[in-house]
Structure 1
Amino acid sequence: MEFPFAIGNYLYKGTKEKGCFGAVAKCVCRRTRQAVAVKVLLNNNISIEKELDILATLNRLPPEKYNIVKFIEYFTSQQARCMVFEILDQSLRQVLKLRTSLPLIELRPITQQLLVSLYGLRTAGVIHADLRPANIMKVHDCRPCYVVKLGDFGHAGYAGRMGCDDVIQPLKYRAPEVSLGYKVTHAADMWSLGCTLTECFTGSDLFCDDSIYNNLRSIIKLLGLPSRKVLKYGALCEELFVPADHYSQWRLKSPEELCRTVGHTPETSESPLENCSTLESIFQDSSLQMASPERRDRMVFADLIKRLLDTNPRTRLTPTEALYHPFVTMVHLANDNSRYSDWARDLMAGSLEGHTTASDLCPPPRSAADQ
């Protein structure tokens, strides 16, 4: 795909990314000389009115406070629709392609900043509905990858107005209640965050994404059944599950049973982490000493992920609760003077300098002392 030398009031400097929608071009504003990213949409079948409305809402937050990519303007040029954003660096997906995985000391500030983003979205009544590494952008500065912003609101919607059919993100990041046709709430983004953080740490997908059936099978194997309300009211539950009088006795249909329901037998597959006996075992490392700070850090991180991946959306962690989780606050490392703990504190402090912290947003929840 080739662009003209000028795109509206912007001078074309190169292509950052290409996709089925069009491309993202690196440009410079003629008037301000500011570098920007111009998302050029050539597929006229894609509706962007809702996305523009969402972006206008988020710009009123303001986005800088909540680590959200800044939307600058929208215009049309030579039959192409163009959306202009601040220019950022690589996505976490691109970072993972180069590095495979990220250690906890680097993942912690990223976690904190994404929780601030989700807190902002919740304040604005917006559900991202497509949180994954590809939509988390590293801010271009001298620091490696610890300052990030949440972007791509093409599938976002307003809480209370989104239906399950509006969520088209890859299954490996999709909350089970959404796949089962229950309803879409802010809790769905928290589930996606749990899947994303696990992938960033392990370098592997946590759940299958080749079919809803296999995705649910891998979730249930590791985390257990969805909640009672999801099983009772999810539009697709009786298609995929064998019901019983008590929700805990429900079970996922076998491939043969599902074939009798939908007319075909689903192919079975396994995710790379599916053979782990528990969620906690994914984060264990037998080579670490029992009392080592890294081992404690892994245990606390495992607890955060477990609470983000609560199969009951009503009891899943909120952004406020997660911002005060020990993994983010580092209370478990407070009295430790090891090299690991010192490095963790330095990276967190450096990444958050000048950025929003939990105390800037909200007081700790009442249950924080029990976490």
Structure 2
Amino acid sequence: MAATAHPLMVGHALHSPSTRYTILEFIGEGSFGKVAKCRAHNSSKLVAVKILKKTYFQNVEDELSVLKTISSLNADHFNLVTFYEQFEYLGHKCLVFELLDVDLLHLVRSLNVNFIRPIAKQLMVALQGLKAVKIMHNDIKPNNIMMVNIDDSSFSVKLIDFGVASPISAATPGLRIQPTGYRAPEICLGLPYSGAIDMWGAGCTLAFLFLNDNLFPVHCEYLMMQSMVEMLGMPSKQQLQFGLYSKKFFCHEVDELGTRWRLLTPEEYKSRNRTKAEEWPEYRPHLSSLDDLLYVSVLYDI
């Protein structure tokens, strides 16, 4: 019979087969559970312990499988968070990782390209490592990339949170992965995809660091797609023809020029999906191409 999870508080100790971890403070929370800053008794090292909710237990085996796969990589060389161990204590499943600093979402400032460039290089190395072991992260965004030490001028970062990562071989068209605003077009449209979707997430993250804002809207799928079309152009006819979700955002019609696809209006989107499209934010300029980012200091008034 499974043990009933007891509530945990600061000062409580989590006992693993190798040591005990004293909870110093809770530093994060999400749908998976909580993250606690802990001190390991056997080494006095500070670590981050991911304490999972019982409703998340069914997913932990997939995460552990991915962590086991990437453990063959040198975590420091490939800029990946180091995973130490997993254990269960008083009904809590716990994953122990190295303790990092602040995530990129909470830098709360735009960065000069000279600072973004080394972060980009480190992200590319991380993706190179994941590709080597045939793993997709599926959730690359600013708060899943953490500074190793914010006081270090070298801007050393690591990729964290493999909770929704999966083998490349498990890629299935139609899966709803990646967060809104960081979701690759092939995921939006329900097309076949590969580990290239992580490169899209990385690109959106680097743009966030430059803009101090999201490149594509994150609170409305329709606005996200509208922004993609304005900035990058319409998806190809072939992509729209075979996309499982193409008709969520686009319609197929015939006019004097022949058969063509177009983006739904906000009213059509609401009627078709029974979900209201949000209004375009007043502060946000419409960018007609990625080249517009060259003038971002004017467009975003930063």
TM-score normalised by length of structure 1: 0.70
Change (3 A) 1:164 1:71: farther
**Alignment length (residue pairs):** 284
CA contact (8 A) 2:211 2:296 kept: no
For residues 117-136 of structure 1, what are the structure 2 equivalents within 5 Å?
Answer: 117-136=126-145
Q: Distance in 2 between matches of 1:286 and 1:93?
A: 20
**Counterpart secondary structure, 1:108:** helix
Please, which runs of 5 or more residues in structure 1 have no aligned partner?
288-371
* Aligned match for 1:74, one of 74, 82, 86: 86
- State the match for 1:201 in structure 2: 210
Q: Distance in 2 between matches of 1:65 and 1:173?
A: 25
CA contact (8 A) 1:155 1:167 kept: no
* Aligned match for 1:284, one of 289, 292, 295: 295
Change (3 A) 1:2 1:186: same
TM-score normalised by length of structure 2: 0.85
Please, which runs of 5 or more residues in structure 2 have no aligned partner?
1-7
Are residues 1:236 and 2:236 paired?
Answer: no
* Aligned match for 2:268, one of 247, 257, 268: 257
Q: Distance in 1 between matches of 2:272 and 2:278?
A: 15
Query: Which of the two has greater helix per residue?
Result: 1
Q: Distance in 1 between matches of 2:146 and 2:28?
A: 13
* Aligned match for 1:14, one of 5, 25, 40: 25
RMSD across aligned C-alpha pairs, in angstroms?
2.6
- How far residue 270 of structure 1 moved from its aligned partner, in angstroms, is 4.1
Q: Distance in 1 between matches of 2:286 and 2:222?
A: 17
- State the match for 2:169 in structure 1: 160
Q: Distance in 2 between matches of 1:17 and 1:7?
A: 17
- How far residue 259 of structure 1 moved from its aligned partner, in angstroms, is 4.2
The Cα offsets for residues 311-341 of structure 1, whole Å up to 9 and x where unpaired, read as: xxxxxxxxxxxxxxxxxxxxxxxxxxxxxxx
* Aligned match for 1:181, one of 181, 186, 190: 190
Are residues 1:59 and 2:64 paired?
Answer: no
CA contact (8 A) 1:199 1:206 kept: yes
CA contact (8 A) 1:74 1:83 kept: yes
- State the match for 1:292 in structure 2: none
For residues 278-317 of structure 1, what are the structure 2 equivalents within 5 Å?
Answer: 278-284=289-295
For residues 21-60 of structure 1, what are the structure 2 equivalents within 5 Å?
Answer: 21-46=32-57, 47-60=59-72
The Cα offsets for residues 216-249 of structure 1, whole Å up to 9 and x where unpaired, read as: 1111011101234421211011342123699994
Are residues 1:116 and 2:125 paired?
Answer: yes
Q: Distance in 1 between matches of 2:274 and 2:99?
A: 48
Q: Distance in 2 between matches of 1:275 and 1:223?
A: 12
Question: Given residue 13 of structure 2, which amino acid in structure 1 is its aligned partner?
Answer: A
Are residues 1:92 and 2:90 paired?
Answer: no
CA contact (8 A) 1:25 1:38 kept: yes
- How far residue 155 of structure 1 moved from its aligned partner, in angstroms, is 1.1
**Counterpart secondary structure, 2:153:** coil
- How far residue 144 of structure 1 moved from its aligned partner, in angstroms, is 3.5
